Amino acid sequence: ATHASAAARRGSTHAMRARGGAPRVVARVAGTVLGIWAMAHLARATSRAFAPTLNAHRDRSGRCEETPGKWDVDAARARARALTAESEAMRADGFAVLLNTFERPDLLKTALRHYGKCRGVEEIRVVWSEKRDAPREGTAEDGYFVKKKPGLVRYDAHAESTSIQNRFEPLDDLRTRAVFNVDEDVRIPCDTLYRGFKAWQKHPDALVGYYARNYAPAKKPSDGCSWRYVANEFQLWWSGKYSIILTKAAFMDQKYLKLYKEHLPDGVREYIDKGGGNCEDIAMQFLISSITREAPVYVPASLMYYAKAKLGGVGVAGISSGAGHHLKRGDCITDFQTMFGAEHIPLVETYQ
């Protein structure tokens, strides 16, 4: 699962107006939409209130016949406590943007212009995994920087690796406790971004972000002990539950970069790099949830933002649109449960 592989997959209305029928049609459509919306909310609330407990063989315990792997979660929690003391000594009034990119220069430049003007951004660190040299400020490559803010943008080169996991490499010279992980094709509106930062300040140990996902038991009993990845927006909205925040747009304490490098269970990094469905974000959520035993925090953007993102192809043209992508991510959840040594799946569900 490398950046390279990710880059490789990536007249009747006028007639009605003439007859004067448009206002009546609009009114009818609006009334129908409002009626459906009201009924859906009532049905959703009712289903929550009277939802039966799942049968034992399909409950959320995640008990498997296979033997879980060995992972020292207590050591990870102890290290997290030590790193928290270091984090609390860092600046908390702003955040660093960790901008992940690979061979999409136009999107990168647009992202730099966007995040360079957002409130709270103290620095932008570009995760550079391309084979060519990283851009240098003060040269003809100034489009890769923010001209009005010299020194705001820095490039962290990973010349010997194109791993998607480079985005989680620790940065020793960070100035802020909070980091905002984001892909170059995702542009969270500045006001929504700052609202997410304020939410993170209230939940500094959690993963806080704008794209929520969940897991669910396999649909067929023949699939045994396995999980499905739930990414369907309607299904997520209907259930109101989530347990995963995608790191393509998420705040976290910088300590988790070190914990990902130092305390990820054996084999997880190799699993992801050798075809693990680009599941580094799920691995990070597993790590954080295992350590904190708390749910992530979802900060929804406006419906207009999500609609524009879909129409504009933001976050759609890459690996997430590949055939079988969601099936593979379900496999990641199933396999990570074993690799994290968990009899009970560590992902913590919560309600929107």
The first and second tokens of residue 177, run together, are 């406790």
Amino acid letter, residue 19: R
Three-class SS state of 351:
strand
> How many other C-beta atoms are found inside a 10 Å radius of the C-beta of residue 235?
12
Q: What are the residues whose beta carbons fall under 8 Å from the beta carbon of 318, sequence distance 6 or more?
A: 6, 7, 9, 10, 183, 185
Q: Identify whether 281 is a catalytic site residue.
A: yes
CA 209 distance to own-chain centroid: 7
Asked whether the beta carbons of 250 and 180 are under 8 A apart, the reply is yes
Question: For the range 153-160, what are the long-range contacts, defined as Cβ-Cβ under 8 Å and sequence gap of 24 or more?
Answer: 153/112, 153/116, 153/123, 153/124, 153/126, 154/123, 154/124, 154/125, 154/126, 155/125, 155/126, 155/128, 156/125, 156/126, 156/127, 156/128, 157/128, 157/133, 158/127, 158/128, 158/129, 159/131
> How many other C-beta atoms are found inside a 10 Å radius of the C-beta of residue 220?
8
Q: Reading across the β-sheet that carries 244-245, which strands appear in turn?
A: 227-230, 212-217, 244-245
Catalytic residue among 185, 281, 331, 335: 281
Question: For the range 307-310, what are the long-range contacts, defined as Cβ-Cβ under 8 Å and sequence gap of 24 or more?
Answer: 309/186
Asked whether the beta carbons of 246 and 281 are under 8 A apart, the reply is yes
**Mind telling me the catalytic residues?**
281
